Structure formats: C-alpha cells, structure tokens
Amino acid sequence: MAIRSLLGALRNRLILASCSRSRSLSTLVLAEHEAGCVKASSLSAVEAAKYLGEDNSVSLLLAGSGPSVQEAANHAASCHPSISRVLLADSDKFTHPLAEAWAKLVHMVQQNGSYSHIISGSGSFGKNILPRAAALLDVSPITDVIEITGSNLFIRPIYAGNALSTVRYTGSYPCMLTIRSTSFPLGQATTQLKPTAASIDMVDVSNFGEGELVIIWYQRDEFLCSNSSQHRILAPVVFSDSTYDNNALGKSKYITQSSQDTERPDLGSARVVVTGGRALKSAENFKMIEKLAEKLGAAVGATRAAVDAGYVPNDLQVGQTGKIVAPELYMAFGVSGAIQHLAGIRDSKVIVAVNKDADAPIFQVADYGLVGDLFEIIPELLQKLPDKK
Amino acid sequence: MKILVAIKRVVDYAVKVRVKPDKSGVETTNVKMSMNPFCEIALEEALRIKESGRASEVVAVSVGPAQCADTLRTGLAMGADRAVHVEHAGALHPLSIAKILKALVDVEKPGLLLLGKQAIDDDCNQTGQMVAGLLKWPQGTFASKVALDAESKAATVDREVDGGIETLCLDLPAVITTDLRLNQPRYATLPNIMKAKSKPIKKVSPEDLNVEIRSDLEVVQVAEPPKRKGGVLVSSVDELIDKLKNEARVL
C-alpha cells in the first residue's frame, strides 16, 4: 500500500511535470510495420508531423512481437530525421494489430507521455485503431487530413472529395488525426540514414490486460541490444484506473489473413497506376490491364464494378471506399468516372482515359482522353509503348 | 438476441453536392436525402441474421433532426421491428453520436451493434470504433462477411484490410461496421411500406439519455476542391504516347 501511494505521488508529479510542458509540441505516431521495416504510409505520418509546428518532437510507437518488431524498431530509429524516440511494445498481445489492444496501448502511452498530437496514416490500420483510442481519451479525432496549416487547423475532404472542409480542433490534448499519405509524400532526406539514431524505449506490457497496469519505461543503452537485463529502469509508474477493468482485451482473436501476393508496386505509392472498369467484361480480359501495368512498371487498380463482378480482388479498388491514389500517371480503361471513383484519383498528376463513350464523366477530369474500343487500344499500346525494364 | 442498427440520413449518394456561396457548408435544402448506403448494408445484415433465426429483434436507431424519422421509416419498411429516434437539431460529431449510442445500448442491451463503416457525407469512419471503445466491446470494422455462432456467443468477421481479407473472431456482444461487399440491401416493397407506418418510433432526446453534447471541433470553412483544368481528346494511340512522352513527360 505504501509503495502504491509512493508511486501514486510519483505519477502525480509526472503529470504535473507534463502539464507545464504541455505548451510545446510533441507528437506520437502510431506506426505499422512489415518484414522488419516501418511502412511508408507510417513515415508519411511522421512527415505530416513536421507541419504541426516548429520544435515538434516526434515519437514513433511500434507494437508487435518477436524479432520482426525489434528489427522494425531499429529501422525506425534511423529511417527518418524527425523521429527522436521510438517506443516499442513487444508482446504476443501485439502479434496482430488488433484494435482493442492497440487502443489501450495508445491510451496508456498517452497517459504517461502527454503528447499534444497523435497521428497515424489513414489506411485500414489507422482508421481501425485511432478512433477507438480517441474515444478512450474522450477527444474527437480528425479523419483523412490532406493539409495541416497549424497545430490545430486541418483540411480534409468531405462528400467523396467534392468539398474541402477546414476544421479547427478546440478540444483538450491530445489532438488525434489520421493523414492521407498521398498528401504527405516522403522527401528525399528520408532515404538517407541519419547520423545519430533515435533512442529506442521499451514499453513494458507484461501486466497488460490486468485490472491494474504497471508501465515501466526502460532506456536501452545500446539500441541494438534486445536483452531486457541490459535495460535501465527510468521511472516505474503505476496506474490503477477503473477504465482498465472489464476491458475488451481477449474478446477479439485473430484467425487468419489472406493477402494478395503481388510483385507489382503498391497501389497507394506507385508512380503509375493502370485501372480497369466494368468494360473489361471478364477476369480473363482484365489480364490485359495487368500486362500493360507490367510493361509500365505500374500498379493495377480497379473500379467497384470490376471488383463486384469478381474480375479482381477488392484490395485493388480505387475510390471513396477503396484506396486513394495520387500517382504521376493514372490510366483508366473502360472506367465511366462515377463520383465515388473520382474521389480516389483527383490528385493524380496526369489522368488518361480510354472509353468507348465520349460522354463518360471521366473525360471531364482526364488530361488526355481517347475515345475508342479498349480491346483494340490496349493491344496497340502494349505493342507501341517503350519497355520500362 | 437483439440487434441494434445505427442509421444516418445523408445527401443521396447520386447527388452532385454544391458548396454554399458563403462557404459555411454544403447545400442541403431541397436536396434529395436518403439512408447512408453503408447503413442500408448494416440493416440488411441485421435482417438476414434475424431471418436465419439467430436474432429475435432488430431495432433501428437514428440521431438527428425531425426528418430522420423518414429514414427510420424506410428502415422499418425494409424490415426493422421498431425504431428509436434521438432528436437533436444541431451539428453532431461522431464522438457525441458514439456516446448517445452507448447510452442506448445500456438501455436496450443488444447482443450486437451494427453500423456502416462510414457516412458518405462527412466520410469520418469513426463512430463504430468509438462506440466499441466506450462500451469496451470488441470491434469488427469493414466487415465483408459475418457469421454468428449463437452457442459460443461469438461472431466470425471477414474484414477488408489494405492487403486483402483478415478474419477475426469476436466475443459477443460486439460492434461490427459494414463494408460495401457484405451484402446487397433489399428494396422496401409497397405492402411493407404500408406496414411500416404502424410500427413504433420512440422519440428520446440526448438529455433523456444523460448525454451532454459538446464539440471540440469547429468547421472554419467549406470550399470547393481545386478544379482540374480541362484536358484534350487525342485521336490515336500514337498521339497519346507522343503526348505522354513529350508534353506530360510521364513516360
């Protein structure tokens, strides 16, 4: 009991200390990782953090289990000059990115760190987790930010991108947002290694899921070491918060994931995207689009009609409810150009449309339009286009 | 088991919206309004679960001004058993809606809460996740397949994620938000539209539910997106390749 009150006092002091710091900016980026690397969409969130203001210290939160997350943490520590600290939660509870565990982790890390902003990319990972964490922290999150014009002023598209809304966040810290990664492209600097790596701190989640949570912050003396005995304990903090009782952990279980293995570039970050619509008529014919993409070193996209008809899997869908792309070249074949599809391609640099129907709405946004039968035009393109490789 | 479905009245998806000249928002007077397409899918799923005998009652809920009653009536015509209308005239953000839904769940005690993954007006994609967090229930977002097991009180949910499909198993009660491919919503038939008129819509206010409406977001302005300048039509593949190479320089 005595220990608990002592720790309680310590926590109060930490909270006081963090309040006095609260005027300065500090951002927590929720990051996704894959195959030992932080995903590019998460680094776009780091990029976005720069626009919040000067002297913004950026911490990256990674969660996972085993060597792959350790490797990702090492990658995170040196992959972007803005990242000053990496927080690493390594536990089998995070083997899969379940919203219940992640939201709670964010809540816990926020109570300990008092960040002014919490950001993630607005992919399925960020959109699943961040609003849940925001509810636990009792703040309104802001979805799919495309422009940051101050620490509390954001622009985001509404009505499938047919209007842009400027919103001011007037609530208490933290201000939580997901950002559209195509609006915050990674600069050249990020491809170079940083001279000094950011520190990696372990978040102790051994008691995660109990009624009472003990969070211990370790400082890793040497960032490559992974043996916990070499960690120096900075400050133990005990939370006995009623919100942790009756929690949602363990109520959701990961079963499986079917992923589309593809050697083509990622749809969200490709330089060229080739998309097919309903007019392709069959999955067989859609292979022409894939061939063309191969030739151009492009990613393949599809409209909802093509996905619903079963020509391609749904993760290729581009539009309001699919992926948002902003490539240098976007080529649409047999795509009519419904509002919901245009919402996903509006920021492409050059749009090319090939369609039989000269009145198709896609021609109103296309830089270059070609009216004709795609079954004649695609083979001709395949023949005449220069090889990329 | 009871299923609660949250539905929202939005500008019809086929309407080309216009931004108001004073930039205060989007023109919504004299514009066709309908049930948000994702909410239709959520309601359809609830009805199918009931029809398969794994649920006893489907309750539709909507929060908003008096006209929301029309949207609820549509939901009743599709097959919902009864409706709850939380009347509130002003602007509401997902956090307030989530608190209202939580309060309703505490009253109605459903075994499953279904929502659409996002509303096509504010495009937020937040409410389901937030109410799940407030209730401390597990969440299955962007669902493209839902299988309920009444015996083990669990739901197996296929989710549309960036790289493909992810399958989760959730203990009930749970919150599930629906993606486009979950199902094809039914049309309300004329006899059912007539029957819906006699189904009850209960009206409550946020105050009745002890939910304080506050907002930590302020809309500064709503503007038109920058227009893409008109392009050109080319007449042949050769011309297209030439333009892409020499004019746009993207090849």
Sign for the pseudo-dihedral over CA of A302, A305, A307, A310: negative
Which residues of B are less than 8 Å from A127 in CB distance?
Answer: 125, 129, 141
What confidence score (pLDDT) does residue B152 get? 84
Test A143 with B180 for CB contact under 8 angstroms. Answer: no
User: Contact A349/B250, CB-based, under 8 Å?
Assistant: yes
- How many angstroms away from the CA of A329 is the closest CA of chain B? 6
Average pLDDT over residues B134-149: 96
How high is the pLDDT of residue B20?
96
- Enter the ipTM: 0.95
Mean pLDDT of A113-135: 96
Q: Which of A140, A268, A385 is facing B93, going by the closest CB pair?
A: A140
- Give the pair of three-digit tokens for residue B113: 């809460």
Range name among A127-131, A346-350, B109-113 with the lowest pLDDT average = A346-350
pLDDT over threshold 60, residue B87:
yes
Closest Cβ–Cβ partner in A139, A160, A252 for B120: A160
Residues B13, A315: C-beta atoms closer than 8 Å: no
The C-alpha of A293 sits at a distance from chain B's nearest C-alpha, in angstroms, of 13
Looking at the partner chain, which of B11, B129, B236 has a beta carbon nearest the beta carbon of A132? B129
Query: Given pLDDT bands bounded at 50, 70 and 90, which one contains residue A209?
Result: low
Residue from B13, B31, B117, B129 whose CB has the most chain A CBs within 10 Å, to mutate: B129
Of the pLDDT bands very low, low, confident and very high (cuts 50, 70, 90), residue A54 is confident
Whether A369 and B234 lie within 8 Å, measured CB to CB: yes
- Which residue, among A95, A105, A132, A330, would best test binding to B if mutated, counting the most B CBs under 10 Å from its CB? A132
Predicted local distance difference test score (pLDDT) of residue A219: 44
Q: What is the pLDDT of residues B119-129, one digit of tens each?
A: 999 999 999 99
User: Which chain A residues contact residue B179 at CB under 8 A?
Assistant: 321
* Three-state DSSP state, A323: strand
Q: How many CA atoms lie within 13 A of B51 on its CB side?
A: 9
- Report the percent of chain B where pLDDT is more than 70: 100
Query: Please, how many CA atoms are within 13 Å of residue B217, restricted to the half-sphere of its CB?
Result: 23
Q: Mention every residue, 6+ apart, whose C-beta is less than 8 A from residue A316.
A: A260, A267, A300, A301, A302, A307, A322, A323
Tell me whether residues A135 and B130 touch, CB distance under 8 A: yes
* Per-residue model confidence (pLDDT) at position A225: 35
Strand B164-171 and strand A252-259: the pairing is antiparallel
Decide: residue A47, CB within 10 A, 0-12 exposed, 13-18 middle, 19+ buried.
Answer: buried
Closest-CA distance, A382 to chain B, in angstroms, reads: 10
Confidence of residue A57 (pLDDT cuts 50, 70, 90): very high
- Angle formed by the axes of helices B94-108 and B127-135, nearest 10°: 50
* Confidence class for position A257, pLDDT limits 50, 70, 90: confident
Using CB atoms within 10 Å of the CB of residue A4, give its burial: 0 to 12 exposed, 13 to 18 middle, 19+ buried. Answer: exposed
> What DSSP string runs through A208-242?
TTSSSEEEEEEEESSTT---GGGEEEEEEEEE--G
Contact B131 A304 (CB under 8 A): no
Nearest beta carbon to residue A255 from set B14, B156, B251: B156
B243 interaction partners in chain A (CB closer than 8 Å): 368
Measured CA to CA, the distance from residue B86 to residue B201 in angstroms comes to 10
Judged by CB atoms closer than 8 Å, whether chains meet at B26 and A367 is answered as no
Distance from CA of A362 to the nearest CA of B (A): 11
B64 vs B8, B38, B68, B90, B203, CA distance in Å?
A: 8, 17, 6, 8, 11
Distance from CA of B54 to the nearest CA of A (A): 20
Name the token pair of A362: 């896609």
Whether residue B98 and residue A328 make contact (CB cut-off 8 A), yes or no, is no
Specify whether the CB–CB gap between A74 and A58 falls below 8 A.
Answer: no
Average pLDDT of B182-194? 95
Percent of chain A at pLDDT > 70 equals: 80
- The tokens for B144 are 């493209």
The pLDDT tens digits of the residues spanning B26-67 come to 999 999 999 999 999 999 999 999 999 999 999 999 999 999
Which of chain A's residues have a Cβ under 8 Å away from the Cβ of B231? 351, 363, 365-369
Most A CBs within 10 Å: which of B16, B123, B158, as the mutation test of the A interface? Answer: B123
Q: What are the tens digits of pLDDT across the range A324-382?
A: 999 999 999 999 999 999 999 988 999 999 999 999 999 999 999 999 999 999 999 99
Name every chain B residue with its beta carbon within 8 A of the beta carbon of A170. Answer: 215-218
Phi-psi region of B109 (alpha: psi -120 to 50; beta: other; left: phi over 0): left
Rounded Cα gap, residues B193 and A72, in angstroms:
56
- Per mean pLDDT, which range of A240-244, A313-317, B194-198 is the poorest? A240-244
pLDDT at B228: 84
Q: Do B230 and A364 touch (CB under 8 A)?
A: yes
Residues of A with Cβ-Cβ distance to B122 under 8 angstroms:
158
Confidence check: pLDDT of A76 > 60: yes
Phi and psi for B87 in degrees, rounded to 5?
Answer: -85, 125
Tell me the average pLDDT across A156-178.
96
In the predicted structure, residue A262 carries a pLDDT above the cut 80:
no
Q: What is the pLDDT of residue A243?
A: 36
Cβ neighbours of A125 in B, within 8 Å: 161-162
